[in-house]
Structure 1
Amino acid sequence: MTACAIETAPADDVVGAAMFTITADGSYAARLAGEGEARFPERWTLDGPEPYAVPLPADQPEEPDTGLLPLTDGRVLIHRRVAGRHAFSLLYPTGPATGELPVGAVECGHLTLLPPAPDGVSAYALAVGERSTAVWQVAGGAFGPEHVAEVAGRCSGGVWLDRTGRMLALDRESEGVTKAVAVDLERGGETTPLLQIAERSNDRLLLADADSGLLLIRSDAPGHDRLGWGVLGSYRPVRFPECLRLADAALSPFAVQPGQVLMPESCAVALRVDGAAGTWLGMWRPAERQLTQVAAPDGWLAGAGTWTREGVLRLPYATAAVPCGVARTHAPPPMVTEPAQAEAVVEAAGGEPSGDSVPLVVCKPVPLQQAPLTGRITAG
């Protein structure tokens, strides 16, 4: 399953606080529950017949910017700022109490947790410096936090490109322009350009599906910020569908249907829709060029959810009556749409740009048995 996006605190905050984070396989989730000064970690179990939550309170309430990351063994990584350091521990239930295993600390300025790693037992974080960004493995290593990569430039985001936790995509800001790059964590952080739509465009990667190769992209290459999609490593152009361009609402993709091997156009994509009337749900397939908008369940932990391979979207929610629930909705059946429906297309190669079309280069991480990545660039 494709995990939900992580909501983070503003960039000038010390720690990115995950509101509700789901493991890559959809088995567990974690959030900071409670209100005001009475905040505590809570773990959700999602892979059983019915979801249930287990509170994991410490001896004192947590700060609002405390970071949490669930692991597939049922433990929850907690990230606290303690005496100028970033301290990490693993929480687990022990009957009526909470067990806590310290795993070490990192001394740096700003540090944020990355989305859950595909292996389910490792956890990574970004520490942004003035000229470079450090990637730390803060759980799952042999000897506590380990510095695994140093990437030139100021990086943000974080999208896993494979199912092993080796290839990580980051949005790197350099000389006033942001481009997605691929970082090979098993080769000391060797970095390869991933998206290069136009020379001065800002090209960010939002989601990637390892089965189909579907990429969800945000770029201002068409002239203003737009949502688009492409296929990793293909020669097909990046497209910016008109149906994903709403005048009165903002769209944020958070989950892609897994299991659609070599069929990126068939993948159902779930999007959070934020407008003046509130927050609701959008569902879309690249092949259909049509956005279906539906009401979200009451108490939806907005921006969180997973797809099953069969096309069922599972949305976690919490209300006074149901403090731990998962709503299920099916993707709309495939529809036949007019092929001439307008959309902006980023041409792969050849000719001068016209209208919303601009040149594209998508740099493909080579298969893991081939190395190095440096210099291996494939038009996408």
Structure 2
Amino acid sequence: MTALAIETAAGDGAVRHSEFTITADGSYAARLVRGEGAGDRWFPERWTLDGPEPYAVPLPGNQPEEPDASLLPMADGRVLIHRRVADRDAFALLYPTGPGTGELALGAVTPDTPEQHLRLLPPSPGGSCAYALAVGPDSTALWLVAGGSFGPERVAVVKGRCSGGVWLDRTGRLLALDRELDGRTKTVAVDLERGGEVTPLLQITEESEDRLLLADPDTGLLLLRSDAPGHHRLGWGVLGSTLPVRFPECLRLPDAAVTPFAVQPGQVLMPESCAVALRIDAAAGTWLGVWRPAGRRLHQLAAPEGWLAGSGLWTRDGVLRLPCSTEAARCSVARVPAPPDVPRPATAPPKPQAPRPVPLAQSPLTRRS
């Protein structure tokens, strides 16, 4: 078992929390918490992660938040909040102001149908803009909800019903979405600088369901889930590569769900050496996995106490930083060095399995050089 070095910022009071979201550069994070010492009310909390030790700042408003409110940390330290107000989706930026919380209203969006509402996408690479999806019966609208000039702005409409959301570059230009169209789900790339132009990204076989889970802009490493091998499996490929997508057997665990959540950055010319962090969920609980494409081995590690499961980020030198929250330490980060892969004896390459996945479809980016 890998030893953990813990950075702590002590706090008091047990809390329950919503999804924990980290900015693309790892400087800030945000979550919605329910504190037992605050009248059992929900309120936003911002974490600062890029200092000598992490610390959390509560951002309570004049009234409690609804538990379905969603948050997105911005690169400048403010926190975007998305609230459902009557039949509208309202957005505002929260920030600490001494003992209180400042709030800058950004406007609201009225959905096309009562059942439709917007869903925030993951933080954009620059951290100055925020986007949301509104899924309709036959098309999906992409909204710029923070960072524009005149409040929420519809920037693109994509044919089909879209889900997911993965940024493919470090400029915030190319967004990958999983699009359901004509009874099949395939990943497409949306070019935000060309009016929402859509390009096919993943089409492993004609009939397969292909979804993109993670992408590393430095190397083009892609983590995906597809039923091309006959049933849904985790696979990987490289953007712009002519090699087929591969589905490692080591990532297939019986009676457990394996979900990637972070890729080691900065490897540039070595996509197969990137360490990938995975959340493993089974009846026995939740724990941590670390895997490299070149290593062909899944390292399974005990999760640190209080891990906000499914959240974390890698440093360039291969240390996984996992946000944790316990009664003793409300805000802490566990540091997990990536375990080394023991070299294996050389063996003959395995024979391709049917159905053999074809290469990634034409992509809007070429492989980095």
1:29 maps to which residue?
29
Offset, 1:289: 0.5
2:87 corresponds to 1:88? no
Q: Which has the higher contact order (CA 8 A, sep 6+)?
A: 2
Say whether residues 1:242 and 2:241 are aligned partners.
Answer: no
Residue 363, structure 1, aligned to residue 366, structure 2: no
Is contact 1:239-1:344 (8 Å) kept?
A: no
**SS of 2:240's equivalent?**
coil
Residue number in structure 1 paired with 2:289: 282
Between the aligned partners of 1:361 and 1:223, the Cα distance in structure 2 is 18
* Residues 165 and 177 in structure 2, CA contact (< 8 A), matched pair in contact too: yes
Q: Could you tell me the percent identity over the aligned residues?
A: 71
Output the aligned Cα RMSD: 1.7
> Which residue identity is paired with 2:79?
V
Distance in 1 between the 2:232 and 2:351 partners?
12
Distance 1:338 1:175, change over 3 A: farther
Deviations along 1:90-131, one digit per CA (max 9) or x if unpaired, are 000000000000011111122100000001110000000111
Cα distance, 1:60 vs. partner? 1.1
Return the alpha-carbon distance in structure 2 between the equivalents of residues 363 and 339 of structure 1.
Answer: 33
Give the drift of 1:343: 7.2
SS in 2 for 1:29: strand
The 5 A counterparts of 1:39-118 are 39-108=42-111, 109-118=116-125
Counterpart-to-counterpart distance in 2, 1:342 and 1:86: 53
1:155 aligns with 2:158: no
1:172, CA displacement in angstroms? Answer: 0.1
Q: CA deviation at 1:167?
A: 0.2
What residue is the counterpart of 1:299 in the other structure? 306
Structure 2 Cα separation of the partners of residues 203 and 18 of structure 1: 28
TM-score by length of 1: 0.88
Superposition pairs of residues 333-344 of structure 1, within 5 angstroms: 333-338=340-345, 340=347
Structure 1 residue 337, shift from structure 2 partner: 2.7
State the alpha-carbon separation in 2 of the partners of residues 355 and 103 from structure 1: 52
Separation (CA, whole Å) in 2 of partners of 1:266 and 1:28? 27
After superposition, the Cα gap between the structure-2 partners of 1:267 and 1:343, relative to the gap in structure 1 and judged at 3 Å, is farther
- Label 1:343 to 1:88 Cα distance change in 2 as closer, same or farther (>3 A): farther
Does the 8 Å CA contact 2:18/2:33 hold for their aligned counterparts?
Answer: no
Q: Is the 8 A contact 1:239 1:343 kept in 2?
A: no
C-alpha contact 1:198 1:360 (8 A) present in aligned 2: no
Are residue 209 (structure 1) and residue 216 (structure 2) matched? yes
Instruction: Check 1:223–1:339 CA distance in 2 against 1; reply closer, same or farther (3 A cut).
Output: farther
Give the drift of 1:340.
4.4
Q: 1:337 to 1:190 in 2, by over 3 A?
A: same
Q: Secondary structure at the match of 2:250?
A: helix
Give the distance between the partners of 2:281 and 2:348, measured in 1 at CA: 25
Deviates more, 1:326-335 or 1:220-229: 326-335
How many angstroms does 1:143 deviate by?
1.0
Q: Distance in 1 between matches of 2:131 and 2:101?
A: 23
Moved over 3 A (4+): 338-345
Residues 342, 65 of structure 1: alpha-carbon distance in 2 compared, 3 angstrom cutoff? farther
Unaligned 5+ residue runs, structure 1?
1-16, 346-353, 368-377
State the partner residue of 1:20: 20
Distance 1:314 1:34 in 2: 24
Equivalent of 2:185, from 178, 183, 203? Answer: 178
2:83 alignment partner AA: R
Amino acid at match of 1:118: P
Q: Is the 8 A contact 1:250 1:273 kept in 2?
A: yes
Matched residue, 1:198 = 205
TM-score (norm 2): 0.90
Deviation of the 1:336 alpha carbon = 1.1
Q: Alignment length, in residue pairs?
A: 344
1:226 to 233, 243, 247: 233
How much has 1:341 moved relative to structure 2?
Answer: 8.8
Distance in 2 separating the partners of 1:273 and 1:341: 30
Q: Is the 8 A contact 1:90 1:103 kept in 2?
A: yes
Q: 2:126 aligns with which of 119, 122, 128?
A: 119
Q: Distance in 2 between matches of 1:277 and 1:173?
A: 34
Match of residue 251 from structure 1: 258
Q: Which residues of 2 match residues 252-267 of structure 1 at below 5 A?
A: 252-267=259-274
Output the amino acid matched with 1:279.
T
Q: CA deviation at 1:356?
A: 4.3
**Structure 2: distance between partners of 1:344 and 1:67:** 47
> Offset at 1:38?
1.0
For 1:293 and 1:92, the matched residues in 2 are separated by 38
> What are the within-5 Å matches in structure 2 for residues 134-153 of structure 1?
134-153=141-160
Cα distance in 1 for residues equivalent to 2:103 and 2:343: 54
Which deviates further from its counterpart, 311-320 or 326-335?
326-335
Matched, 1:329 2:328: no
Is the 1:253–1:271 contact (alpha carbons within 8 Å) kept by the matching residues of 2? yes
Q: 2:69 touches 2:82 (CA, 8 Å); kept in 1?
A: yes
**Alpha-carbon distance in structure 1 between the residues aligned to 2:52 and 2:164:** 33
Q: Tell me how far 1:333 sits from its aligned partner.
A: 1.7
After superposition, what is the alpha-carbon deviation per residue over 1:163-192, rounded to whole angstroms, capped at 9, x for unaligned?
A: 000000000001221000000011111000
- Tell me, yes or no, if the aligned pair for 1:136 and 1:149 is still in contact at 8 Å: yes
